[in-house]
Amino acid sequence: MLPSRSGSFPLFRLLGVRVYLHWWWFIFAAFEIALRSRAYSSHTWNIAEYLALFLIVLLHEYGHALACRQTGGTADEIILWPLGGVAFVRPPPRPGAELWSIAAGPLVNVVLVPVIAGLIWARTGVGWGADSADYRQFLQALFWINAGLLAFNLLPVYPLDGGQILRSLLWFAVGRARSLQIATILGIAGVVVLAGGLLWLQPHRWLFTLLIAGFLASQCLSGLRHARLMLALEKLPRHAGFRCPSCRQTPPGGPLWPCPSCGRAFDPFSTGGVCPHCAAPRAAIPCPHCGTGSPPAAWSAGRSPVIDV
Ligand SMILES: [Zn+2]
Ligand SMILES: [Zn+2]
Ligand SMILES: [Zn+2]
């Protein structure tokens, strides 16, 4: 249920990240702007406020993407859609790298608090835009939008940032799979409470609430399935002589990799990457832990050679 590039169009590319805007954004923007009948003297300010909201969201997503890159992971795509933004980040599978990639997003909102407060102060203190009541209203709205986004994203409900931070912290204690399992189960309970709270607080925005609750719940369920899969993988015997060149994990043993030519599953680590059914060689073997595909020779590079003289 994540937004995809196919439903979006590219906006620009900055710092190696391509930013896309989802088509649905326009429909929701028109709806939301019409709903915001705030005390502005012209409609332009309503539009400016909505655009500023998405600028804050974009800066937040850039926080995730750049932090993820800093840990050695990949992040080259951000999609803005009606429910906010999605940064497609893949940090290396270490709890510290994951924690920093997630925490950097809300940290951007924390930095924005004094920035916006400074603008509010400059209006009266230095007189920047002091004569415009609309500008005052706009800055105040901006302050609360940023504070609201920060508070909402820090709720410990997976897959919100707070829930993912909780997951990374649990990872240190109980491991990768178990931490995801706990965070997603707590997440499902959290989504129910959150949806109830939002419906009570802003009943007129029930459609938005239901959409966001449905989205969060579907992410929890797919996370839970992923955790189950990882727990099952952990129980399998392992090919001790091989290591993923990307994440350094040993691959599990067993016929788990479907052949790209004939579709039948086999264990490429016991056959040198060649399919025993149709004899087609595999150019790359995907890692079940991190998803990176590497050629068979690169996997065996992790082997310690036995040298006989
Ligand atoms: Zn975030
Ligand atoms: Zn790997
Ligand atoms: Zn085959």
- From the CA of 252, how far away is ligand 3's center (Å)? 20
The CA-CA-CA angle for residues 105, 76, 90, to 5°, reads 65
What pLDDT does 111 receive? 97
What are the tens digits of pLDDT across the range 87-108? 888 888 889 999 999 999 999 9
* Ligand positioned closest to the Cα atom of 86: 1
Which of 38-47, 71-80, 258-267 is predicted with the least confidence, judged by mean pLDDT? 38-47
* Sequence ranges of the domains in the chain: 1-113+142-150, 155-235, 238-301
> What are the structure tokens assigned to 282, written together?
């595999």
What pLDDT does 305 receive? 47
* Ligand positioned closest to the Cα atom of 291: 2
Name which residue leads in pLDDT, 115 or 136.
115
154 pLDDT above the threshold of 80 = yes
- From the CA of 202, how far away is ligand 3's center (Å)? 56
What pLDDT does 306 receive? 53
> What are the structure tokens assigned to 83, written together?
């429910």
- From the CA of 244, how far away is ligand 2's center (Å)? 5
Measuring CA to CA, which residue among 218, 198, 221, 208 is closest to residue 84? 208
Measured distance CA(308)–CA(148) in Å, rounded: 66
**Count of Cβ atoms closer than 10 Å to residue 158 Cβ:** 27
What pLDDT does 173 receive? 92
* Ligand positioned closest to the Cα atom of 282: 3
What pLDDT does 233 receive? 81
Query: Which of 4-18, 55-69, 230-244, 250-264 has the largest mean confidence?
Result: 55-69
What pLDDT does 301 receive? 60
Burial string for 68-89 (b: 16+ CB within 10 Å, else e) reads bbebebebbbbbbbbbbbbbbb
Residue 121's identity, in one-letter code, is W
* Ligand positioned closest to the Cα atom of 108: 1
Q: What is the mean pLDDT of residues 133-158?
A: 91
> What are the structure tokens assigned to 212, written together?
């966001």
- From the CA of 258, how far away is ligand 3's center (Å)? 8
**Count of Cβ atoms closer than 10 Å to residue 56 Cβ:** 21
Instruction: Give the environment of ion ligand 2: residues with CB less than 5 A.
Output: 244, 246-247, 287, 289-290
Measuring CA to CA, which residue among 88, 93, 71, 70 is closest to residue 244? 93
- From the CA of 245, how far away is ligand 2's center (Å)? 7
- From the CA of 190, how far away is ligand 2's center (Å)? 31
What are the tens digits of pLDDT across the range 246-294? 888 888 888 888 998 898 999 998 888 899 999 999 889 998 887 888 8
303 pLDDT above the threshold of 60 = no
- From the CA of 265, how far away is ligand 3's center (Å)? 8
* Ligand positioned closest to the Cα atom of 163: 1
Measured distance CA(189)–CA(191) in Å, rounded: 6
What are the C-alpha distances in Å from 197 to residues 28, 106, 203?
22, 22, 10
- From the CA of 236, how far away is ligand 1's center (Å)? 34
- From the CA of 110, how far away is ligand 1's center (Å)? 12
- From the CA of 276, how far away is ligand 3's center (Å)? 7
Measuring CA to CA, which residue among 178, 161, 158 is closest to residue 170? 178
- What global pTM score does this model have? 0.78
- From the CA of 190, how far away is ligand 3's center (Å)? 45
What pLDDT does 38 receive? 62
- From the CA of 28, how far away is ligand 3's center (Å)? 47
* Ligand positioned closest to the Cα atom of 58: 1
pLDDT confidence tier of residue 296, bands split at 50, 70 and 90: confident
* Ligand positioned closest to the Cα atom of 276: 3
* Ligand positioned closest to the Cα atom of 278: 3
Q: What is the mean pLDDT of residues 77-96?
A: 87
* Ligand positioned closest to the Cα atom of 251: 2
- Coil, strand or helix: which one is 126? coil
